[in-house]
Amino acid sequence: MPRLQVVSVVDAIADDLRARILRGELEPGTALTEADIASTYEVARPTGKAATEQLVRDGLLVRGNHRSARVVELGPDDVRDIYRTRAHLEREVLRRLARERTDVPAARAANAEIAALVDGSTLDVVAPDMRFHTALVDALGSPRTTRMYRSLVTEVTLCMARVQGRGLLDNASIAREHALILDLVTAGDGDGAAALLDEHVGRARERLVRALGGTPGPEADLPPR
């Protein structure tokens, strides 16, 4: 039995809003009142409220007491924090995967998709790229780690969506680096994989920060040793 997945109305609305924000359809700073959401999706206000709360949890919306929620505006500091936290998590994941020389077929599959996108828009590379990284984390089999990473994924995706279409990404070289990381993991070289990932993620981070007009990170937080 295919074990089907039911989504509640609230989840469906939250998913749609999430997608619209990530597509850039709703620009940063846009106000989203509960009543707005309720009317556009033709549901009651409490339903819209619940959807809003999900997105606030995800970090895609920000809201104060009795104030309408607005689409988050990510500054250079946020981008740095997101990417550093992300690197921390993935680094440890790679080290543990390497200790058992775990192969991650799902990650290889996602990477193949990236390599196949020879001339796709930079938008198309975001989804498989996130799949690649989440596949690595999921391979650990730790529900809590997966949960924590998932809370970062939406923010990372939002970062990438902000600079999409500026030709900053070269999917061929991305795919090469990904493949190399996987090879190092299966070879048991956790430190090597972690270092390469640090470089990989760190480069993406600085690219994003520059694109957002921030000053290039003064502190090199690359390999700790």
34 contact, one of a second copy, DNA, none, CB 5-8 Å limit per kind: DNA
The one among 33, 85, 102, 186 contacting a second copy by CB under 8 A: 85
Span of 28-36, 77-85, 102-110, 127-135 interacting with a second copy by CB under 8 A: 77-85
**Contact between 11 and a second copy per CB under 8 A:** no
Closest alpha carbon to 145 in 156, 155, 136, 132: 136
Q: Answer yes or no: are the C-beta atoms of 62 and 56 closer than 8 Å.
A: yes
Nearer to a second copy, 3 or 144 (CB): 144
Q: What percent helix, strand, coil does the chain show, rounded to 5? A: 65, 5, 30
* C-alpha span between 149 and 166 (Å, rounded): 27
* C-alpha span between 116 and 204 (Å, rounded): 21
User: Helices 9-22 & 143-162, crossing angle to 10 degrees?
Assistant: 40
**Contact between 46 and a second copy per CB under 8 A:** yes
Least gap, CB of 30 to DNA (angstroms)? 12
How many CB atoms lie under 10 A from the CB of residue 29?
A: 10
What is residue 1's DSSP assignment?
-
Nearer to DNA, 68 or 145 (CB): 68
The footprint of DNA (CB under 7 A) covers 8-10, 31, 33-35, 43-47, 49-50, 52, 64-69
Least gap, CB of 35 to a second copy (angstroms)? 17
Nearer to DNA, 48 or 202 (CB): 48
**Contact between 63 and a second copy per CB under 8 A:** no
List the Cα angle 146/150/156 in 5-degree steps.
135
**Contact between 204 and a second copy per CB under 8 A:** no
Nearer to DNA, 57 or 99 (CB): 57
**Contact between 14 and a second copy per CB under 8 A:** no
67 contact, one of DNA, a second copy, none, CB 5-8 Å limit per kind: DNA
43 contact, one of DNA, a second copy, none, CB 5-8 Å limit per kind: DNA
Binding mask 140-159 for a second copy (x = CB under 8 A): --xxxx-xx--xx--x----
Q: Which uninterrupted H or E stretch holds 70?
A: strand 69-71
* C-alpha span between 165 and 84 (Å, rounded): 24
